[in-house]
Amino acid sequence: MANFTIAEMVQSNTADRLKISNNPPASVRVHLTETITLLESIRAEWEEYCAEHSLGTPAIRITSGYRSPALNKAVGGVKNSAHVAGYAADLQPVNGKQVEFEKFFATVFSRMGYGFDQIIIEKSKTARWVHVGYKRPEDGKQRHQCFSLKV
């Protein structure tokens, strides 16, 4: 079942607001398709986890997917961000169970044997989200790292 689309990965409120183009080149579209495959696996496992723990809807919101170089700069992203390569997505659970969502990544999903580069449980002063990187942009490596970060 398809839950995620390239359109969802490309949509950006910040890009709209600042009138920044966020149209990925063909090579990046291929990466986005790969990344979506991982997101579908996450969605399927999260759905089971939600059912087991009575957490409500397993829908997942992409708060940031692809970022053109200009958009990445505007949001203060790191220079070699996997978002620019189409290899990353920032996620939040639609049911609002953020703590459970983070626990799911740290103790369940990251240990299931799926290929990924980095799962980063991120927190700023105003928001929390989970960054999922599918491959490292420089060399396509999957380092299988999972950690927390205050940004």
Stretch touching Zn ion by CB under 5 A, among 27-35, 47-55, 85-93, 142-150: 85-93
User: What are the structure tokens assigned to 94, written together?
Assistant: 């639609």
Residues in the interface with Zn ion (CB under 5 A) total 3
Alpha helices in 1-144, H assignment, sequence order: 6-10, 13-18, 26-52, 69-74, 98-103
Comparison of 97 and 131: residue with beta carbon closer to Zn ion:
131
Least spacing, CB of residue 53 vs Zn ion, in Å:
25
Q: Which residues of 1-28 are buried (b: 16+ CB within 10 A; e: fewer)?
A: eeebebebbbebeebeeeebebebeeeb
Options 31, 43, 97, 131; binder of Zn ion; rule CB under 5 A: 131
The phi, psi pair for 59, rounded to 5°, reads: -60, 145
Binding flag, residue 8, Zn ion (CB under 5 A): no
Options 40, 90, 98, 106; binder of Zn ion; rule CB under 5 A: 90
Least spacing, CB of residue 67 vs Zn ion, in Å:
9
Binding residues for Zn ion (CB under 5 A): 88, 90, 131
